[in-house]
């Protein structure tokens, strides 16, 4: 087993904690009288949070110079994919008892389902090619492919907005979740725009007086994980 940094250990703990809590809630009858809906919503919420955390690593490094965070993007993304898959499995298996005829009859009336599945499909491509083997083999194409995570995250926010009882555009209804997710995603995407990123980098340099860490250090020139 490779040596894990404390941050990496924390991420793996964070990854399994929600599932453990969910199982405990289920067996102790603490998942409301409608456990299907509760489990569906919970796994969905967790997947969204993990995906947004994964996307927050890069801008947080730009802003605070914490290159150790960059190593967390992959495990966070993989856990997000894991909970999103569980989310779909609960929908198809537990909610619709794998009765695809019944589920299919309603698919066209559920656009949130279509964007959700599109996002999950994209995430599955990224998960399948997440191993270093593919990273080395695909080289530049790997980077291009994995930029699809931005599209996936956008679809996920749309999915969350479309399942809520309310209207995000009107700022009315039960909409705090899509608002919070959309806001977080926007911040983390904005911080990636080159001029903004450079500005944030310089800002950090002025404030903390640390040299900016490269966003994606090439192998061999990896920045030390310890803060300098």
Q: Which residues contact another protein (rule: CB under 8 A)?
A: 32-34, 36-38, 95-97, 99, 102, 105-106, 109-112, 162-163, 165-167, 170-176
Q: Which is nearer to another protein, 42 or 204 (CB)?
A: 42
Q: Minimum CB separation from another protein for residue 97, in Å? A: 5
Q: Is 162 within 8 Å of 169 (Cβ atoms)?
A: no
Closest distance to another protein from the beta carbon of 224 (Å):
45
Nearer to another protein, 89 or 163 (CB): 163
In terms of CB distance, is 169 or 219 closer to another protein? 169
Q: How far is the CB of 90 from another protein (least distance, A)?
A: 12
In the complex with another protein, the residue whose CB is nearer, 2 or 170, is 170
Nearer to another protein, 7 or 103 (CB): 103
Helices 35-64 and 194-208 cross at an angle (nearest 10°) of 70
Q: Least distance to another protein from the beta carbon of 35, Å?
A: 10
Most distant pair of Cα atoms in the chain: their distance: 61
CB of 39 to another protein, least distance (A): 12
* CA-based R_g, the chain, Å: 19
Distances (CA, A) of 228 to 61, 68, 179, 211: 14, 12, 37, 9
Q: Among the residues of the chain, which ranges form H helices?
A: 6-27, 35-64, 73-89, 100-107, 111-128, 132-138, 140-146, 148-163, 176-190, 194-208
- Residues near 100 by Cβ (< 8 Å), separated by ≥ 6? 92
Nearer to another protein, 156 or 200 (CB): 156
CB of 43 to another protein, least distance (A): 16
């Amino acid at each position: 087993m490779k040596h894990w940094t404390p941050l990496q250990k924390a991420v793996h703990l964070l990854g399994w904690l929600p599932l453990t809590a969910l199982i405990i809630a289920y067996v102790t009858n603490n998942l409301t009288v409608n456990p299907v809906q509760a489990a569906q919503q919970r796994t969905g919420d967790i997947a969204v949070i993990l995906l947004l955390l994964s996307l927050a690593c890069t801008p947080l490094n730009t802003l605070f110079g914490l290159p150790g965070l960059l190593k967390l993007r992959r495990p966070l993304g993989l856990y997000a994919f894991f909970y999103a898959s569980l989310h779909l499995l609960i929908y198809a298996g537990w909610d619709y008892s794998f009765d695809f005829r019944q589920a299919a009859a309603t698919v066209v009336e559920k656009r949130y389902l279509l964007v959700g599945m599109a996002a999950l499909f994209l995430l599955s491509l990224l998960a399948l090619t997440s191993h270093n083997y593919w990273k080395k083999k695909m080289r530049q194409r790997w980077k291009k492919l994995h930029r699809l995570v931005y599209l996936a995250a956008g679809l996920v926010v749309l999915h969350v907005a479309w399942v809520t009882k309310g209207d995000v555009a009107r700022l009315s209804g039960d909409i705090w979740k899509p608002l919070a997710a959309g806001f977080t995603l926007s911040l983390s995407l904005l911080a990636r725009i080159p001029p903004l990123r450079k500005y944030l980098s310089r800002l950090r340099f002025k404030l903390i007086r640390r040299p900016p860490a490269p966003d994606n250090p090439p192998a061999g020139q990896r920045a030390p994980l310890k803060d300098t």
